[in-house]
Amino acid sequence: MKTIFSKQDKIDGILEEVKNIAGILWERGWSEKNAGNISVLLPDRIQLSELSGSDEYKLKNSFPALKQQCFYMTATGKRMQDVAKSPTRNGLFVQLNKSGDGYLIVRQTFNTIQPTSEFLSHLGIHNMIAERRTGETVVMHTHATEIIALTQYSKIKNSEDLNRILLGMHPETMVFIPKGLGLVPYILPGTQAIADATINSFKDHDIVVWKKHGIFAIGKSLTDTFDHIDIVCKAARIWFQCKSAGFEPEGLKDDQLNELKKLAQKFNS
């Protein structure tokens, strides 16, 4: 097949990482059927070199900070176990237009698919990252079982309630997720409303949880982004195991959490 990128080695590295992470999401049971989606901002110096035959699709919103930026995205209706086998057959490359209010799909011989149904959420998050210049390139959404189960707990009403449980279960959670998790109340998936709520929550948090639905995370690589989800899921499992054993988990105390927050500054500076 004809090479469509000027620096194929970097693209191949990203696709290999997509394969590995998609496989793990499937093995964990976090991506039933076609659940979950991934998008990766391609490096600045990699530009799509062939767009012939590609139609332009208009977007409901404009994403000015993403003008002419290129992304790999998993496709709507595709299963993660299939993404793990072939990221290109179950995902696609898109480039935003010069105004940021439309996009083009790179046509491949076997590829007539469309971006993930959470496309607006992904673009909105990437646009926010570009505006604040913090450097994250990956947006990942998955149906992490432990987190969905935890948000069924009626005493969790907001982000503070969620963080009170998760940040206290294990030191690593505070160290690597120092801003905690944002909680978005249940909103119909795939809508502008849930995209707006998610973007707003990412302004103050490292991870965003969709109540009774799943989790969103951002990072500078696919592996780092997955690790953030993995850490909070372990915290949730610890909480459930304590409750299942018949005792209330004590959790870390406030002074211990404050010490860990200072330690986190060294890791994340």
The catalytic site residues sit at 118
**Chain centre distance of CA 114:** 18
**What is d(CA 100, CA 197) in angstroms, rounded to the nearest whole number?**
21
Q: How far is CA 227 from CA 188, 207, 224, 230, in A?
A: 27, 11, 5, 5
- The encoded tokens of residue 12 equal 């191949």
Q: Percentages helix, strand, coil for the chain, rounded to the nearest 5?
A: 40, 20, 40
Q: Are 116 and 37 in contact (CB under 8 A)?
A: yes
The DSSP code for 43 is P
Inter-residue contact 197 to 204 (CB < 8 Å)? no
Q: Are 97 and 88 in contact (CB under 8 A)?
A: no
Burial of 245 per CB tally in 10 Å (0-12, 13-18, 19+): exposed
Cα–Cα dist 151/208, whole Å: 12
Q: In degrees rounded to 5, what are phi and psi of residue 181?
A: -115, 140
